[in-house]
Amino acid sequence: MYTDLVSNNSVFNSEIDGYKDGIWVIYNPSNYVEAIKYYENKKIYLVAFFRKNGSIKAIDWYENGTKREFGNWHYDKKGKILNQSPDF
C-alpha cells in the first residue's frame, strides 16, 4: 500500500496522557504502509505488517497489552496463512 501522506499518521484514534487508542498507521521513509497498530482501551490489541505491494505479511496479536504466546500469524505472498495458532 502506498500513500501520499508524508509522515506517521493516525486514523480514528486518540492519545491521552501517553495512552493510545484506536487505529495508528506506520509508514516507512518511502511512504509505504509498514504496519497498522490497533489499540483498544489503552492497550495494544494487534499489529498488522504489510509488504511493499500491500499484501499482508504478518499479524501479531496481543492480550491485555501483552503479546500472546502463540499470537503470530505469518502469510505467504499469495495471502495464505502459514502458521495459524490453534488457540484462535
Q: Say how far apart CA 45 and CA 63 lie, in whole Å.
A: 6
Q: What is the pLDDT of residue 1?
A: 45
- Written as nine digits, the cell of 15 is 492519545
- Written as nine digits, the cell of 36 is 497498522
Q: What is the pLDDT of residue 87?
A: 54
Q: Say how far apart CA 11 and CA 87 lie, in whole Å.
A: 30
The helix or strand, by DSSP H or E, that contains position 38, with its residue range, turns out to be strand 33-40
Q: What is the pLDDT of residue 47?
A: 94
The pTM (predicted TM-score) of the whole model is 0.73
**The length of the chain, given as a count of residues:** 88
Q: Say how far apart CA 26 and CA 34 lie, in whole Å.
A: 6
Residues in the chain with pLDDT < 70? 1-11, 84-88
Q: What is the pLDDT of residue 36?
A: 93
Q: What is the pLDDT of residue 4?
A: 52
